[in-house]
Amino acid sequence: MEKVKVIGAGLAGCEAAFQLVRRGIAVDLYEMKPLKMTAAHKSENFAELVCSNSLKASRIDSAAGLLKEEMRRLGSVCLEAADRCSVAAGGALAVDREIFSKLVTDKIKAEKNIRVITETVSEIPSDAVTVIATGPLTDNELAESIREYCETENLSFFDAAAPIVTAESIDMSKAFTASRYQRGTDDYINCPFSRAKYETFHTELVNAETAVLKDFDKPVNVYEGCMPIEILAKRGLDSIRFGPLKPVGLIDPRTSHRPWAAVQLRRENSAGSLYNLVGFQTNLKFSEQKRVFSMIPGLENAEFVRYGVMHRNTFINSPKLLNRNLSLKRNKNIFFAGQLSGVEGYMESAASGIIAGINAACLVHGEKPVVLPDFTMIGAILKYICDESVVNFQPMGANFGILPPLGEKIKDKRERYSALARRSTEWFNNIDKEI
């Protein structure tokens, strides 16, 4: 039986390995945990979710929802697990992250043709078709090997993870449950600010002390979607009130009015015993997080089971380096997948792993590569990250802006998004059995 190496057992690596064995190819899956752990990872299981437990919107007429629908059509192992351990989150698909990782791990380890090798890979293999999916926290030695092999400088930005508090420590006499615009069934806990309390909170937040980063962790660029709350707050008094603390769509039942600002807490686990602070990725010192975030109404006595952390995220300059099938231009035997390839987001990373796995199998079998059309969400993302015309490349996540326009003009945005989603799903209806 032919064999392919997959380096990294994150979401992308697991998806790639699963696609390969589905196509009759054995896999050596290399994972450095638990032999070597990063500052952000805590679990020994595969596909660990670090930043958030939300996989974003479920509606098919949303970019994130369409992406997940396409992944389901392609046999995603991660979405199979996510659907089994979802937790209430309004219109989003959120998961109990511990159960999610275990389900994916068990699925991969149950495959007799996947051999898991606990080992830190320090250089790009030259003896086999290989999928590199080591993620945003790629080990330094391998990262250096990639940089040298690709003859280009890696780009890097920094993710930040939000704090988690216990549900029982939230003062519900000050907070209230509701989803924006009454979507869902009161899946979020909302902590409402008056104007005076918000302005005091903002002052303390922008003046709070941040953690000292090591030289290799000092940020050059910070991805906008994971901007630390304290950096966003420094853009102006109303910056976070129009961002993660926006009160739009919320009514405080105690006042029957919209609050001046509101912090939303999203369920972190199936039991509902833990909640994370939505949009509160941060690099503040732990003591400062306790002090400042305890000023949020309802969190005065909050028990923090995990404080926010900031960590390195490394990715290659994909427009110059990768073909549309995610293989290296200079070596068709090497594929990149996950955030290392320049996609941004959990599901985007997993989706790239699916495509890398499929195309590694195509290479082994001597078949034509699979390149999804750019009117599918997966195809559009991969076209973007491999587009040589992109200047100052930054990672890209799912959004309707990267899809080609429809043949007809539809003014209503919701209707237009539905039509864009329908165009993709209709193509999959006719083609998915052939992929």
pLDDT in tens, 210-222: 987 655 455 555 5
Q: What is the pLDDT of residues 141-200, one digit of tens each?
A: 998 899 888 876 655 656 567 899 998 899 999 999 988 877 766 779 999 999 999 999
Separation CA 317–CA 224 (nearest Å)? 18
Percent of the chain with pLDDT over 90: 68
Whether 1 has a pLDDT exceeding 80, the answer reads no
Confidence of residue 323 (pLDDT cuts 50, 70, 90): very high
Percent of the chain at pLDDT exceeding 70: 93
Contact by Cβ (8 Å): 113, 1: yes
Tokens of 357: 């796995």
pLDDT tens across 349-362, in order? 999 999 999 999 99
> Alpha helices, DSSP H only, in 244-401?
286-293, 318-321, 346-365, 377-385
Token look-up 């975030």 returns 293
Nearest Cα neighbor of 160 from 211, 99, 102, 89 is 211
- Point out which residues pair with 252 in neighbouring strands: 257
Confidence of residue 204 (pLDDT cuts 50, 70, 90): very high
Measured CA to CA, the distance from residue 104 to residue 345 in angstroms comes to 18
At 97 the pLDDT is 94
Cβ atoms of 318 and 388 closer than 8 Å: no
pLDDT score of 106: 98
pLDDT for 309: 78
Structure tokens of 132? 């590199």
pLDDT at 184: 64
Name the residue type at position 172. Answer: M
Q: How far apart are CA 179 and CA 89, in angstroms?
A: 8
Predicted pLDDT of residue 154 = 56
Instruction: With beta carbons less than 8 A apart as the criterion, state whether 48 and 161 touch.
Output: no
Q: What is the pLDDT of residue 6?
A: 98
> By three-state DSSP, how is residue 141 classified?
helix
Taking CA atoms, 257 is separated from 51, 197, 215, 252, in Å, by 32, 16, 47, 6
261-285 per-position pLDDT tens digit:
999 999 887 778 889 999 999 999 9
The pLDDT of 117-137, averaged and rounded, is 92
The confidence score (pLDDT) of residue 181 equals 75
**Nearest to 82, CA basis, from 67, 104, 62:** 104
Per-residue model confidence (pLDDT) at position 12 = 98
At 379, the pLDDT band (50, 70, 90 cuts) reads very high
pLDDT value at residue 271: 76
> What are the boundaries of each domain within the chain?
3-154+316-434, 161-311
Strands 130-132 and 155-161: unpaired
Handedness of CA 105, 163, 94, 173 (dihedral sign): positive
Q: What is the mean pLDDT of the chain?
A: 90
Where would I find the beta strands (DSSP E) of 133-204? 155-161, 164-166, 176-177, 188-193
Residue 293 burial (CB count, 10 A): 27
Tokens 């306790």 — which residue? 290
Tell me: domain 161-311, CATH 2.40.30.260, correct?
yes
pLDDT digits (tens, 9 = 90+) for 324-354: 999 999 999 999 999 999 998 999 999 999 9
Ramachandran assignment for 8, one of left (phi > 0), alpha (psi -120 to 50 degrees), beta (any other): left
pLDDT of res. 216 = 46
pLDDT for position 401: 86
Q: Any idea which of 27-36, 111-120, 310-319, 381-390 has the lowest mean pLDDT? A: 310-319
Which residues, other chains included, contact 400 with Cβ-Cβ below 8 Å and sequence gap of 6+? 63, 416, 417, 420
CB 212 within 8 A of CB 152: no
Q: What architecture is the 3-154+316-434 domain classified under in CATH?
A: 3-Layer(bba) Sandwich (3.50)
- Distance (Å, whole) CA 413 – CA 407: 15
Instruction: Find out whether 314 and 332 touch, Cβ atoms under 8 Å.
Output: no
Cα end-to-end distance, the chain, whole Å:
21
Task: Select the more confidently predicted residue: 228 or 205.
Answer: 205
State the average pLDDT over residues 90-99: 94
Closest CA to 275 of 41, 96, 47: 96
Helix (H, G, I), strand (E, B) or coil at 66: helix
